[in-house]
Each structure stands twice: as C-alpha cells, then as structure tokens.
C-alpha cells in the first residue's frame, strides 16, 4: 500500500458516520449488510448513508455486490489489513513490543 492510498483510506475513516459504517461492516463479517439494514440499524438517513458508502468504496475500504435485488456491502478486509500493516510495519523499530500478533480476517 503506498502513502497516497493510506492517506485516502485514513481520510475516508476520519468522519464519524463513515467510521461507524465501516466498523459495523467489519463486525458483520463476510455476510455483509444491505444499505437498508445499515440505515435502519445505525439510524442514518438513506441518502446520507449512500453518500458515505460512496466515499468508503472510493477509498477501497468497502466493496459492493449486487445479489438479486439487493446491494450487499462488505468491509474490504485485504485493504483494511494492508492499512493496518502499513501503520504498524515499523512498530517499536522492529523489536518485540509485547503486542499480540494481529488476528485480522
């Protein structure tokens, strides 16, 4: 992941609604959520959610897939893990810092 991608991803997450949406998708896992379910469960108006989902998709943090009549949104785990890896690759200057190994999806 290059620096420009990292900045884009962090900028997308640096907004309360987008962070809330992304975290909900991470918790949900591979099953994903429909925008309607997210709007209802997170108490976000549908048009507001649509705007924020577009930003998360643009940053590569969320994927969308059509399933019959539904749009399924999922956290992009490879991208999330790449971002976390970039942020922690030089943790403690390579020394064991005592943090547990990441157990990401």
Which run of H or E residues covers position 37? helix 35-42
Q: For the chain, which domains are there?
A: 3-85 (1.10.10.10)
- What is the model's pTM? 0.86
Does residue 81 carry a pLDDT above 70? yes
Of 103, 23, 96, 12, the C-alpha closest to 60 is 12
What is the Cα 26 distance to its own chain's centre? 7
Does residue 5 carry a pLDDT above 60? yes
Which residue would you say has higher pLDDT here, 26 or 90? Answer: 26
Does residue 90 carry a pLDDT above 80? no
pLDDT of residue 99: 58
Find the mean pLDDT for residues 65-85. Answer: 94
The token pair that represents 46 in the structure block: 């549908």
Does residue 105 carry a pLDDT above 80? no
Does residue 60 carry a pLDDT above 60? yes
Task: Tell me the per-residue pLDDT of 23-55, one tens digit each, with 9 for 90 and over.
Answer: 999 999 999 999 999 999 999 999 999 999 999
The single residue listed with the structure tokens 């749009």 is: 71
pLDDT of residue 96: 66
Of 75, 77, 91, the C-alpha closest to 101 is 91
């Amino acid at each position: 992941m290059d620096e420009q991608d990292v900045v884009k991803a962090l900028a997308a997450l640096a907004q309360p609604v987008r962070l809330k949406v992304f975290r909900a998708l991470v918790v949900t896992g591979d099953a994903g959520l429909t925008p309607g379910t997210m709007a209802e469960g997170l108490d976000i108006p549908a048009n507001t959610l649509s705007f924020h989902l577009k930003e998360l998709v643009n940053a590569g943090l969320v994927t969308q897939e059509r399933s019959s009549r539904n749009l399924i949104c999922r956290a992009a785990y490879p991208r999330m893990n790449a971002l976390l890896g970039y942020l922690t690759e030089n943790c403690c200057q390579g020394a064991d810092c005592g943090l547990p190994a990441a157990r990401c999806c």
